[in-house]
Structure 1
């Protein structure tokens, strides 16, 4: 039964019951309640980008969802525990039945961003897409088509894979590398450890139980990894064992602290590299480094392991001590001392010395587990920040051993579930995920050396440069809100998208009228997870427990929504590639094939008939506990890294080349450097000129009430988790602010209105705002003020130097009472 018929019927029955109830002479037999149909029970999952893919138990009656439960079907003991969904997954019924649910195809009839649409048929929608997309490819080539970053639905069979598969059959699209979460970490890991994948292949969290000290640098699992199979539960259980001490470095006193930590060190955003250099100074000057480890496994710490012809002055040790004599520990005038770092970070010099000593003391007789958060890589100089933090386990020799970590994100347990094959992309050029607005504006002039364009070497000129052939003319956005909301500088992004002479066609496929959907030319309504059959595995941050969930449905598809496989099959038919797209297989053929492949990869997985009832299959550490770079530590010759030297590159040879040859924009303070270096950066604490106008550092964070921007349209979650900008009581007093005041937060890029939370859980001089609130500014509001409180109204589109990534946690702002709040205060 479709929901609209259910609602009509409910209204009719309610009215009839009311009339009968008013008649004392009504025939009792005629008013007897009709017995309810039995509930159906299906399993689904929450597939947003938190990294867990938690199972959900869906109860429905007559095609209507009646309630949602989570995994409680088995005995619950840690190591064989239930995979319980967090508050977001448990609220998914409200999300499915949200008032802004997309029900049928629509075409835009007003300016982009106005949200003005009219309903059209599926045939008209698909014919229009075929005509527009085909015409753009014919005129500008496949390089003119682009997918914006899209992580709102982690299907295995359905979802975005089908659109990529279709485009590859049509000749491809302009590729992209990196992502908003980890873009700079990928590059830091690549040039240090030899592989981008090592950014998220750190030691398993289980190795914390073998550590004596856990140093968490911005890492906050209790708010971003809340799944019952996730890192928050693993951390809590291991931390409660009392095996290790925990030190948390973060501008906010997060829920991962709250008494669970042994020490909290508040630090100014974007200055972590300065802290690392001060620790390095103490370790070097006090002779507390593991010199044997550095000599054996690393390149470029000092004169012993620098590449031939590179002087000692280019080494990391020389940089930290600011001297040019390898035999001397005498610091120069610009040595990276704790006193130097204290002025930058806000951490007292004595505290930095104590931290260095504690790390060294622990490493001498025990194990140190260093965990770096992805938040550190979302700053203007995030690549160097991550590389600088990598130096802590390297100098201590705390890598490749039980109880240690490289600093990378922890490896999660995993079981395999196949994904829809997408094929290969015939277009061999790509840009950073973050520079797509630049490619819309002026893509034909984007180059390798200036803008980070990637292309085959045989297409480069004698100087190693090359460029795109065209700008982006068509955008496909499937289950993604980075078209406007999650990208930076929303006001500027809106202006770019509204110029239809540049980007000529935008297709959005989603479940809800998100801020990004308001900028589409054609909007297609997708099915939700609760209306889908799929087999999905745990996400990338499932912690120590691996899962497979067999999704099924008794409630859809609702309205006129269609799944991506059916839609892309119809488009493939129009483009003449249907046979290649489907390979002659129905939806059920693909699903049965994938289940058989999953059973072969996971021998304990029950038959599908069993899983349709059971829903969840789980294993605790099915591959055992992973220790990052264990094989390399045991035998570096037999297991070399994929770096030019085969070693960990503190001095990265490829970065030395980029440092000499890449063309950075005039005025960009952040640099590409061969060794990790703290770099003052625009909109950072040391940007004194900007800070005179905008004195507060504003950083973003993940809230419990959203996953990025997903779930923002669920009223329960907006009530449960307040959207408010955090400010320290000292800063609030200067501005006459109290908790729950409506304030304006602004800089040169834009202005938002949001509530304020006055709390000592944020350090002075710093403000923090949960990212992902839906943009309500620009064309939609008829003005520039964003009353939705979207952080990206205030963030910059300037790419970072190496990864060309997003520095969206680096912002300077001012905060004051909103006009209506100021008037109210005056009246009082």
Structure 2
């Protein structure tokens, strides 16, 4: 990899002049009142250090308070002391190990400092420095050429996996530039939770089915299904879960891995094979229903499709979920013994946890986003909602509905829309792999398999924008397929990348631009869920070298193409942030929010604390005046729309269907192990892979059960080769009982680093993952993989 960052001398001069940094670890800090916060934030230390309250804008839902110590324009220390948390009912997140290491990332010796242009073959990593004028000239001329030769839909804007946590999403700025100059292809279906977000409305009418975590205060039982907040640091989940644990709440963790969350919280771990979640859910439902533990009154009143007496018109007999459970149509009751043969959870364990879940009131089954990143992801997401329905835990304080992790408030207001008289073309493709098809065979994309906005694509994608994104060559699926496509420079003619480091995606780009960090620009950060506050992400340091904000140089590009006013709306980036804060203050005038100038001192704007929010409480308390936003006005455990599709991979009820690349299939004879990835505390997608401190917190190892290891002659610490028909990677084996037999797992986010034979050397799981999409939502299937493992 080409090193293009700070020289040792300049790096030492920058950091040494302000003294050594201190990395702080620990738990919650003491709290004080708001006035103490303002005084503490504004107070300068005796040596001239200023303490500034801010936050990052990484792809992280925590939005934790960062207290940056700044002297002479440089960050000398990061801590996360929070002296102004008003009370226990309105917490403000505190930085995890990633957040506390931001300073080392800010001054990483490999930071990009100058624009560069590719001079070798694409992917070789050979670049030469160029000036910003040359870079802008190239970007403008390539856009003008591609618009003339093909059209606006030849330009694709990749998901910005390195920066989605602020109101100004950097990748969205590229989309805005493309639209003011004619249009672009974008993407839909979040990689994180696209199957959940798209499938859930078929049952409940909306995607966001989570309640506020504060509503779980008196919950007696929580089942965390593939949910690992101890490592993903999902919002304020850990804060609330720890309180609940101390209050006597029992936690059951269902997961192929004995995750850090299971270590911390679980009273019981239920290991199961990936892709078999719905079999376990079905068997639990069978026990609950056949033993009369279900809430029939709730089902009769609020649900369509549970039994034959509550089915929509135009449906054949014996299509209800209860008929499926009892095996009326196929002759196979979905007993625990039936499920045990599929998911490998003992039948008696299934009976016990089913009875416990059904009889404990209230109880909450909360799904994470890992289980829905499978070929069966839609069904798994809906299966959790199904169990919530049959036990009557929907719309109840302490219960939970669906697979969404929590209630989300979208604060503050965003940038203004583009001018109404602006004409531009737009289309979108499935995020996980639609863009690959749009390059390789654009005619294959239709409305039936995921194309939106247009009936067909007239031409393939010829330009890719990678803004704060390493998705193209690290986080996306089937990287060897992507590599083969990008090596043919007649396919994609221009790839633009703006980032902080020379990532694998940057190495495969034609123009690489040095980007500002979140400490070198203005933005606003809000929590993904369960946080009634937002934080001003302040510019506290000047850009390093020639780094520039994308807003800045895209405005210059727009100016040269005659559309600057449409792009900027007459505002600088800082002025947009001021606008967003002040407009939010007006919109929520009853919340006594601080204005922009006050916020620069306080850092955090707390909204007025409300009662804990319970999803669908209004619908359950008063269904006549608050129907569900479904066709029937009720919860649809049976979907007539899905039934009419007549697709066996898209059942009308969320029940188990075997996946094509799963256990028991013909492919499993050759590749007998299932491979999954997991998000770790050391990385945010692929961000921080080269961070020297965070590398010490997470080893890149392949977890393998002792039974599977012994059968292959593998010992703990051995180097192994993991392969399938899509690719191969080398990695160190960790032999552990913390993973279910038949499954192996590796941390995600390792940078793609193939040798001459194409074998990845870094343990990048995406050389093995599939670019196939789910049948219904066209979502991500990156956790559904069969592999074989051999000792090297």
Please report the TM-score for the alignment, with normalisation by the length of structure 1: 0.86
Describe the SS at the equivalent of 2:354.
helix
Aligned partner of 1:462 in structure 2 is: none
Instruction: Tell me how far apart the structure 1 counterparts of residues 94 and 685 of structure 2 sit (CA, whole Å).
Output: 20
Aligned partner of 2:40 in structure 1 is: none
Which is further off, 735-744 or 306-315?
735-744
Q: Residue 54 in 1 paired to residue 59 in 2?
A: no
State the shift of 1:428 in Å.
4.7
Q: Residue 216 in 1 paired to residue 224 in 2?
A: yes
Aligned partner of 1:287 in structure 2 is: 292
Aligned partner of 2:569 in structure 1 is: 583
State the shift of 1:574 in Å.
1.3
Aligned partner of 1:525 in structure 2 is: 514
State the shift of 1:275 in Å.
0.6
In structure 2, relative to structure 1, the CA distance for the partners of 1:636 and 1:426 (3 Å cut) is farther
Structure 1 residues without counterparts, runs of 5 or longer: 16-35, 325-331, 457-465, 661-669, 819-828
Q: Residue 473 in 1 paired to residue 462 in 2?
A: yes
Aligned partner of 2:370 in structure 1 is: 375
Q: Residue 740 in 1 paired to residue 740 in 2?
A: no
Contact 1:537–1:547 under 8 Å retained in 2: no
Mapping 1:379-398, distance limit 5 Å: 379-398=374-393
- Equivalenced residues, count: 754
State the shift of 1:717 in Å.
0.7
In structure 2, relative to structure 1, the CA distance for the partners of 1:555 and 1:309 (3 Å cut) is closer
Q: Residue 719 in 1 paired to residue 716 in 2?
A: no
Contact 1:161–1:422 under 8 Å retained in 2: no
Aligned partner of 1:427 in structure 2 is: 425
Aligned partner of 1:537 in structure 2 is: 525
State the shift of 1:162 in Å.
2.4
State the shift of 1:522 in Å.
1.2
State the shift of 1:288 in Å.
2.5
Deviations 1:264-311 (A, max 9, x none): 111111100001111122223223322222222222222222221212
Q: Residue 690 in 1 paired to residue 676 in 2?
A: no
Aligned partner of 1:22 in structure 2 is: none
State the shift of 1:414 in Å.
4.2
Q: Residue 239 in 1 paired to residue 245 in 2?
A: yes
Contact 1:95–1:713 under 8 Å retained in 2: no
Q: Residue 353 in 1 paired to residue 351 in 2?
A: yes
State the shift of 1:559 in Å.
0.5
Instruction: Tell me how far apart the structure 1 counterparts of residues 398 and 276 of structure 2 sit (CA, whole Å).
Output: 27
Aligned partner of 1:24 in structure 2 is: none
In structure 2, relative to structure 1, the CA distance for the partners of 1:4 and 1:61 (3 Å cut) is farther
Describe the SS at the equivalent of 2:260.
coil
Match 1:207 to one of 212, 215, 229: 215
Describe the SS at the equivalent of 1:429.
strand
In structure 2, relative to structure 1, the CA distance for the partners of 1:473 and 1:367 (3 Å cut) is same
Instruction: Tell me how far apart the structure 1 counterparts of residues 769 and 97 of structure 2 sit (CA, whole Å).
Output: 29
Deviations 1:408-431 (A, max 9, x none): 323346472233335388435322
State the shift of 1:241 in Å.
0.9
State the shift of 1:259 in Å.
5.7
Which is further off, 157-166 or 508-517?
157-166
Structure 2 residues without counterparts, runs of 5 or longer: 18-45
Q: Residue 769 in 1 paired to residue 769 in 2?
A: no
In structure 2, relative to structure 1, the CA distance for the partners of 1:617 and 1:9 (3 Å cut) is closer
Aligned partner of 2:616 in structure 1 is: 629
Match 1:400 to one of 395, 399, 410: 395
In structure 2, relative to structure 1, the CA distance for the partners of 1:812 and 1:379 (3 Å cut) is same
Deviations 1:414-456 (A, max 9, x none): 472233335388435322112210111111231122x122247
Mapping 1:434-445, distance limit 5 Å: 434=432, 435-445=434-444
Aligned partner of 2:198 in structure 1 is: 187
Mapping 1:270-285, distance limit 5 Å: 270-285=275-290
Aligned partner of 1:115 in structure 2 is: 125
State the shift of 1:555 in Å.
2.2
Q: Residue 808 in 1 paired to residue 782 in 2?
A: yes
Which is further off, 388-397 or 283-292?
283-292
Match 1:676 to one of 648, 654, 661: 654
Describe the SS at the equivalent of 1:715.
coil
Q: Residue 491 in 1 paired to residue 480 in 2?
A: yes
Instruction: Tell me how far apart the structure 2 counterparts of residues 177 and 729 of structure 1 sit (CA, whole Å).
Output: 40
Quick check: which has more Rg, 1 or 2?
A: 1
In structure 2, relative to structure 1, the CA distance for the partners of 1:294 and 1:527 (3 Å cut) is same
In structure 2, relative to structure 1, the CA distance for the partners of 1:275 and 1:157 (3 Å cut) is closer
In structure 2, relative to structure 1, the CA distance for the partners of 1:642 and 1:139 (3 Å cut) is farther
Contact 1:221–1:231 under 8 Å retained in 2: yes
Describe the SS at the equivalent of 1:404.
coil
Contact 2:8–2:109 under 8 Å retained in 1: no
State the shift of 1:138 in Å.
2.2
Describe the SS at the equivalent of 2:252.
strand
Aligned partner of 1:327 in structure 2 is: none
Aligned partner of 1:760 in structure 2 is: 737
Instruction: Tell me how far apart the structure 1 counterparts of residues 114 and 788 of structure 2 sit (CA, whole Å).
Output: 43
Aligned partner of 1:341 in structure 2 is: 339
Describe the SS at the equivalent of 2:630.
coil
In structure 2, relative to structure 1, the CA distance for the partners of 1:415 and 1:11 (3 Å cut) is closer
Contact 1:208–1:214 under 8 Å retained in 2: no
Mapping 1:150-189, distance limit 5 Å: 150-153=160-163, 154-157=165-168, 159-189=170-200
State the shift of 1:313 in Å.
2.2
Deviations 1:744-802 (A, max 9, x none): 2111211111222222111222111111111111xxx3331111111111111111111
Instruction: Tell me how far apart the structure 1 counterparts of residues 532 and 226 of structure 2 sit (CA, whole Å).
Output: 25
In structure 2, relative to structure 1, the CA distance for the partners of 1:344 and 1:568 (3 Å cut) is same
State the shift of 1:617 in Å.
3.6
Q: Residue 604 in 1 paired to residue 592 in 2?
A: yes
Deviations 1:111-164 (A, max 9, x none): 222211111111111111111122212222222211111131133246233222
State the shift of 1:98 in Å.
1.8
Mapping 1:36-115, distance limit 5 Å: 38-74=48-84, 78-79=88-89, 81=91, 83-115=93-125
Instruction: Tell me how far apart the structure 2 counterparts of residues 594 and 671 of structure 1 sit (CA, whole Å).
Output: 44
Aligned partner of 2:32 in structure 1 is: none
Instruction: Tell me how far apart the structure 2 counterparts of residues 218 and 177 of structure 1 sit (CA, whole Å).
Output: 23
Match 2:603 to one of 594, 611, 615: 615
Instruction: Tell me how far apart the structure 1 counterparts of residues 305 and 735 of structure 2 sit (CA, whole Å).
Output: 46
Deviations 1:385-419 (A, max 9, x none): 22223210111121111111113323346472233
Q: Residue 567 in 1 paired to residue 553 in 2?
A: yes
State the shift of 1:485 in Å.
0.7
Contact 2:6–2:110 under 8 Å retained in 1: no
Q: Residue 322 in 1 paired to residue 299 in 2?
A: no
State the shift of 1:77 in Å.
6.3
Describe the SS at the equivalent of 2:63.
coil
Contact 2:175–2:186 under 8 Å retained in 1: no
Please report the TM-score for the alignment, with normalisation by the length of structure 2: 0.90
Describe the SS at the equivalent of 2:281.
helix
State the shift of 1:184 in Å.
0.9
Contact 2:186–2:427 under 8 Å retained in 1: yes
Contact 1:47–1:54 under 8 Å retained in 2: no
Contact 2:716–2:733 under 8 Å retained in 1: yes
Aligned partner of 1:506 in structure 2 is: 495
In structure 2, relative to structure 1, the CA distance for the partners of 1:9 and 1:716 (3 Å cut) is closer
Runs of 4+ displaced beyond 4 Å: 3-6, 8-15, 412-415
Instruction: Tell me how far apart the structure 1 counterparts of residues 773 and 74 of structure 2 sit (CA, whole Å).
Output: 46
Instruction: Tell me how far apart the structure 2 counterparts of residues 13 and 785 of structure 1 sit (CA, whole Å).
Output: 38
Describe the SS at the equivalent of 2:645.
helix
Aligned partner of 1:19 in structure 2 is: none
Instruction: Tell me how far apart the structure 2 counterparts of residues 421 and 12 of structure 1 sit (CA, whole Å).
Output: 38
State the shift of 1:63 in Å.
2.8
Aligned partner of 1:665 in structure 2 is: none
